[in-house]
Structure 1
């Protein structure tokens, strides 16, 4: 008998694998062999050859499997729609591919009653060995845009499947000069073999059983190819100095005003064929092409050049920001890297913010995560230390990156996104004036020009980000490699994956067949958990139980079941938390909120004190389809102590800065109207002897009302609010807190090292602060998008007023906000 009385049907690992192999599985794997003939010869004068193996499976069968999966039924669409945010059919929305232009255009080209199946491909070469060795794999993934992008982003939902491994080989049978061209052609031959079944299906249609049980005539058409820039050029058959989407002159890539012609598949094929036939072609050279027989030339209805979608990870975070704009801006600063490091060290903390305690120059390994962490405060680090035009250029890049992350776009957001990129181009000449750059003919800077068109045609960029491909490598390639003995590893990886899919399908089937049965799937598996929540602080030792709901702002507040401290006296709260005049401010709140109460608190009155409250913020579809968790901390400092297990280090107090609703907001005055910044020092419950209340309270110290945004950086500013040389404080209901915020110290032109600030003291020592719109995408939506939209509508209203005044007509109110 096994553990807990279980009697398994297998007695060893081999018999277990046999039973797994007997389960129904997905499409079968096939191995196709290629003999590559090189241009090197042996002593006998014969050309050297090399045998390569291509492991692949039928993409049509993979599409049948995905589109017929009943677990995707609620997340599937079969026809295009258009969504508008206004009743007059203006301000169109762009999210999933089925509400964008490409689907509509393709639907018009197919027979009446046909169902479009937009095929998504992704390929990327990846290292399999961890520390040493040169083992690599080149997976090709397939998905369909009929499935929601939130589900496709979830690797365990298996809406993106592995359809092949491009062989990674040395091609030593070629000379070094010809080896690259041979590699390009081998890639295209392998892709042609993998995608061959799509020709018939895309031309004549394919009857399939869909997730809702209906049989539809579908036409699988390649719509999207997710790849980094070098691989995009490989697929497009163009040189890496060219753009894979358009025929821009490589020397004009930095000119934002150049209207380059989009690449045309027919003209590209004509140029390649002319080059092959005649040995030269003017059109071939003008388009910066490579002499390759492309795999996509026979795919029906395929325009490969429009298939390339935005790559936020490599093009924006790693490319435009880290490799270019941050390096140029750092060089423009007085003190350069040393000053940047000091400012990063002194940056105020936030639970969702990484603190670079050693600066950034000593960071040896950079990933997309570090780039994003750096972006969150970089404009505050830069402000005051360099020319205003540098700050404006950096702001344009950061705004563009954050707009690119929107999960739902509208005509309004795309217009502001385009203006953000234009801001960079209008100010980029400052780097030439400072001698930092001689030109801006950089591929990644040019490629950004195509983002807006791609979003309108294929949907928001989060549905085609290469971060998803990087994540698929772990589950569908690297785990299989690590599970084997590293010999004939590609073959073993296909066997391992087939068994994983068989187990997954069996679990899903049992859940469907047996009501109430819960299969032991991996954590987070399935499309029901397919959202992309943004908050990073979702855990903690406290188990939330006491919930408070604000009917005014739609927020939910979660406190722990048990307070961190019970019976804390008012005197100890004043001393430990720095809550000056705590008793006075509590009695003042008591008198206003409960005027009938005749007793007052004293220094000996005891309170239950909490360490944090977790807010669940309202859904903003531009940011996420799930509610985001936002933690607000109020802890006292701890001192270092010596224990039997060694020295326990002390920790400074955690006192979150928040936005508090102090008056009803007026949308005509902007999204920050009625909000004021404060710092939470204590979170506590109302003692029962005073009043019976489910609403917890917070002791806060205030900042002054926000001042208008600074011109170059577009951030609101504030400073500590004082009374009699002490920070103004009060006790407020916890439900007055709208969300946490991040206040960055204004360094100005001063040397950060001379200021002597640290991350724990800068909030007290700085004289003024910037309200950071880049902390999270949630903050960016309110503090940049909504603010800029308000200012634009204010300008429109002023123009209407001026025109109406001239004609003696009063215009209607144009203020209509979407949330």
Structure 2
């Protein structure tokens, strides 16, 4: 490929008032980043295709420039960052109009009725905020055992300087105080189910005589608590909506932006008394989970519930928007009976009958509106309806009463899932019941004839259209880990034999282990050679697997992986526009074309009749129906397992653990409700006022050993700041510092950098300026170990406002080991899309200095130039190579940190050679001729390098 050399920007200030940032163009001529000479704003370049991921400044905000500027004035609410969009179109009839508690609509703009809060010093049942904080700390955060609580209180009481009795006498006093909380109380109930068929005399299977207990909480009361939670008052949609981007094309994000909710509203509006009401979709999810294999395979079957009004980011953040409402029964029998048709039928009927009974309390308000209090203080008329059900494939076929191997959504044959099909529907299945016998239903349509889905007689509910897309099990763990990664191993063994394939697999593991470190990227020190896989393991492997297999598999196989990863990352975006849907279709077509190599090579000789891969063909339709899939993924319920099932089980005595687990969940809900109530009343101060799942804002001065992560900051649209604490024991004099760090070019680079500050209209390359004409370097330089980039990345695990923070390091020793010098994206041309408008660089040093009372935060970097004019056609990622001078040294420059967009992840182009066994990942960025710009490092990287 021809080499395309990218120019290297040098940032210098503008003489215009309030602006001090320039950069040098390819010819060495300084050009302003803002043609109008307005104060340069690193947060508000919303017109740039490169910066399309950075939302504009919200109304009322005042962006701060590099050279000064201001923050929001007193009382100004900057609000969460948002992309440029037209105002949403809300449903004209079911539009969520506020009303009073009697259901009478209020005039537009009318405030809610005053809340009848107790006095501001009433922390009942706690004596004060300190007692609540302590109870929350001991019970929720630390999960201290009863004996340890007793010991703590005894030590507290025995301290001679103690001002009085301990806050709680013992663990019983603590538990009783939490139990006395009136907020968040939805009591647990139970019912029993038994087999009601004929039971023959004699040696009868035990499952026919055994009662099965189902524990549940009234979903109606739980939903009311969710809707009234003031924690969600700014993050709910009260009506179905249609949202549009800058180009007036439809966008799909939160659940209520999908077509299904709008279509349901069109039906509900025909019911009497529903005009002006709020349609509340009920989102359910269930999945068996095992808490301990070693102690006898302890299985539980939790049932979760959320509502469709809260935004996807809230549901993903687990801020009590997903509630545990039940534990379903798990019938078991001996080996002789476990595969009998009679037992399987009972098990299915038990499941559907339990769901039907639990949800019965919602039925009246599915047709007749009821008045409900919301978190914003307003009452609204509410109409409930069964919404999407979050489930993996085995659960989906159980829900739809279809046969394993068939699609639960469409009628495609189990022998040709990608062949002709139509959508399953309740009407179609009822017609099949009338026309066909049991055998034909099972064999020809995959319908289980002796069980009716629980949705069958609920208003407007059709289970076949309510099955949600499942990114975790269908895409990440299913197609990627279980299929594609496994097929690579099978291909290598079939092609090279068992012995050589093991050698190649070992090299792939070494390549995976050699990937450079990156914030938020899990490392695999031993490659992928471990047995117990989690969803997070699969997600992490996806980010680094493709370059690792290059050279060991055919190019078509690489293209199959590349096309699939494109599909995966596009469908996992937080906002999916019409252009993204087109790209999703194109990626899926490419994947279906390229995956044929697995069929031709004999790995999949019978084709690809795989339900989880077939499900990908439904994703475009499901995105249009339900919004972005990340708001309905089973990773939400699997994460909920930890807090609702696994941790309570570990805290139990293991004997009759379920009753104890119910109590623990009840107390956790009471603590959460009390925290929200006290915070809403202004009675808690940060940090205790923050919700349990909301990550604390991290200052730039925190321990440099962390990678930061999600942040709830809302007034920053995108910036890079140096860490606060400078590196100790480093010389401040530039000449001495250069000798200390073995960077002899540093003083001269500083002099040229300063020359550029003094000559903003420079029209010759800076390197041609005689050093004698350049100013002396600054007398004092402060070295910083890292910089912190804050940017808008809602598709990643970001804060509620969509903000993410990452640390970019430049240190001589990281975690007591080798040096770490991270790579970054540097802005080159804001008018070019994606990586075409960016440069890749590696930071060798972060530092700052003052000159004429102006602070210059800078970075010393080396550059990478792109190889070719397009991404690699097989891997689909841009390739870069280090810039080398005529002495074989990497070319260095000094840049202002405001030209840094964020961190970049580079993966070596490994080629055909095998890595040495003892190769260290810390040497990767110094050891290879070329690198891939890893657009799969996270979703934000994919969006800007796509």
The TM-score range, normalised by the shorter chain, is 0.7 to 0.9
**Counterpart in the other structure of 2:255:** 97
1:547-578 Cα offsets, whole Å, 9 max, x none, are xxxx9995241422344444255466445645
Corresponding residue SS for 2:590 = helix
1:638-669 Cα offsets, whole Å, 9 max, x none, are 8xxxxxxxxxx9511101111223x44333xx
1:702-744 Cα offsets, whole Å, 9 max, x none, are 2224532222222222211111222111222222222221222
Would the alpha carbon gap of residues 175 and 37 (structure 1) be closer, same or farther in structure 2, given more than 3 Å must change?
farther
Say whether 1:11 aligns with 2:169. Answer: yes
Would the alpha carbon gap of residues 210 and 162 (structure 1) be closer, same or farther in structure 2, given more than 3 Å must change?
same
Measure the CA separation in 1 of the matches of 2:805 and 2:254. 25
Say whether 1:616 aligns with 2:785. Answer: no
Would the alpha carbon gap of residues 38 and 376 (structure 1) be closer, same or farther in structure 2, given more than 3 Å must change?
same
**Counterpart in the other structure of 1:768:** 930
Say whether 1:149 aligns with 2:312. Answer: yes
**Counterpart in the other structure of 1:81:** 241
Measure the CA separation in 1 of the matches of 2:313 and 2:190. 33
Preserved CA contact (<8 Å) 1:94 1:409: yes
Preserved CA contact (<8 Å) 2:754 2:774: no
Say whether 1:127 aligns with 2:290. Answer: yes
**Counterpart in the other structure of 1:444:** 612
Say whether 1:324 aligns with 2:483. Answer: yes
Measure the CA separation in 1 of the matches of 2:203 and 2:445. 41
**Counterpart in the other structure of 2:224:** 64
Deviation, 1:32, is 0.7
Equivalent of 1:387, from 543, 554, 561? 554
Would the alpha carbon gap of residues 694 and 620 (structure 1) be closer, same or farther in structure 2, given more than 3 Å must change?
farther
Would the alpha carbon gap of residues 769 and 17 (structure 1) be closer, same or farther in structure 2, given more than 3 Å must change?
closer
Deviation, 1:409, is 0.8
Equivalent of 1:194, from 355, 358, 380? 358
Measure the CA separation in 2 of the matches of 1:762 and 1:212. 53
1:577-601 Cα offsets, whole Å, 9 max, x none, are 4534222222222222246997524
Measure the CA separation in 1 of the matches of 2:559 and 2:583. 15
Say whether 1:346 aligns with 2:514. Answer: yes
Measure the CA separation in 2 of the matches of 1:488 and 1:12. 24
Would the alpha carbon gap of residues 583 and 15 (structure 1) be closer, same or farther in structure 2, given more than 3 Å must change?
closer
Measure the CA separation in 2 of the matches of 1:717 and 1:216. 56
Say whether 1:300 aligns with 2:459. Answer: yes
**Counterpart in the other structure of 1:653:** 819
Corresponding residue SS for 2:783 = strand
1:286-323 Cα offsets, whole Å, 9 max, x none, are 22122313211111100111111111111111110011
Preserved CA contact (<8 Å) 1:665 1:673: no
**Counterpart in the other structure of 1:261:** 422
Measure the CA separation in 2 of the matches of 1:6 and 1:151. 42
**Counterpart in the other structure of 1:739:** 902
**Counterpart in the other structure of 1:810:** none
Equivalent of 2:884, from 722, 725, 729? 722
Preserved CA contact (<8 Å) 1:31 1:53: yes
**Relative to structure 2, which stretch is displaced further, 185-194 or 60-69?**
60-69
Corresponding residue SS for 2:241 = coil
- TM-score, reference length from structure 2: 0.73
**Counterpart in the other structure of 1:498:** 666
Deviation, 1:697, is 1.8
Preserved CA contact (<8 Å) 2:825 2:838: yes
Say whether 1:710 aligns with 2:872. Answer: yes
**Relative to structure 2, which stretch is displaced further, 216-225 or 382-391?**
382-391
Query: What runs of 5+ residues in structure 2 fail to find an aligned partner?
Result: 1-155, 709-714, 761-772
**Counterpart in the other structure of 1:50:** 210
Measure the CA separation in 2 of the matches of 1:534 and 1:229. 39
**Counterpart in the other structure of 1:159:** 321
**Structure with the largest fraction of helix:** 1
Query: What runs of 5+ residues in structure 1 fail to find an aligned partner?
Result: 545-550, 639-648, 785-819
**Counterpart in the other structure of 1:547:** none
Map 1:364-383 → 2, pairs under 5 A: 364-383=531-550
Corresponding residue SS for 2:385 = strand
Measure the CA separation in 2 of the matches of 1:21 and 1:516. 21
**Counterpart in the other structure of 2:753:** 589
Measure the CA separation in 2 of the matches of 1:737 and 1:377. 24
Measure the CA separation in 1 of the matches of 2:897 and 2:205. 83
Measure the CA separation in 2 of the matches of 1:187 and 1:621. 34
Would the alpha carbon gap of residues 132 and 273 (structure 1) be closer, same or farther in structure 2, given more than 3 Å must change?
farther
Deviation, 1:681, is 0.9
Deviation, 1:249, is 0.7
**Counterpart in the other structure of 1:808:** none
Would the alpha carbon gap of residues 292 and 520 (structure 1) be closer, same or farther in structure 2, given more than 3 Å must change?
farther
Deviation, 1:108, is 0.7
**Counterpart in the other structure of 1:665:** 830
Would the alpha carbon gap of residues 432 and 10 (structure 1) be closer, same or farther in structure 2, given more than 3 Å must change?
closer
Map 1:333-482 → 2, pairs under 5 A: 335=501, 336-360=504-528, 362-438=529-605, 439-482=607-650
Q: Which has the higher contact order (CA 8 A, sep 6+)?
A: 2
1:198-232 Cα offsets, whole Å, 9 max, x none, are 22221333332233333333221111100111011
- TM-score, reference length from structure 1: 0.84
**Counterpart in the other structure of 2:654:** 486
Measure the CA separation in 2 of the matches of 1:477 and 1:523. 24
Deviation, 1:682, is 1.2
Equivalent of 1:34, from 193, 205, 221? 193
Measure the CA separation in 1 of the matches of 2:664 and 2:475. 35
**Relative to structure 2, which stretch is displaced further, 472-481 or 54-63?**
472-481
Measure the CA separation in 1 of the matches of 2:722 and 2:510. 37
Preserved CA contact (<8 Å) 2:220 2:361: yes
**Counterpart in the other structure of 2:911:** 748
**Counterpart in the other structure of 2:6:** none
1:767-806 Cα offsets, whole Å, 9 max, x none, are 222211111111100111xxxxxxxxxxxxxxxxxxxxxx
Would the alpha carbon gap of residues 654 and 117 (structure 1) be closer, same or farther in structure 2, given more than 3 Å must change?
same
Would the alpha carbon gap of residues 601 and 172 (structure 1) be closer, same or farther in structure 2, given more than 3 Å must change?
same
Preserved CA contact (<8 Å) 2:516 2:924: yes
Equivalences, count: 746
Corresponding residue SS for 1:249 = coil
Would the alpha carbon gap of residues 249 and 614 (structure 1) be closer, same or farther in structure 2, given more than 3 Å must change?
same
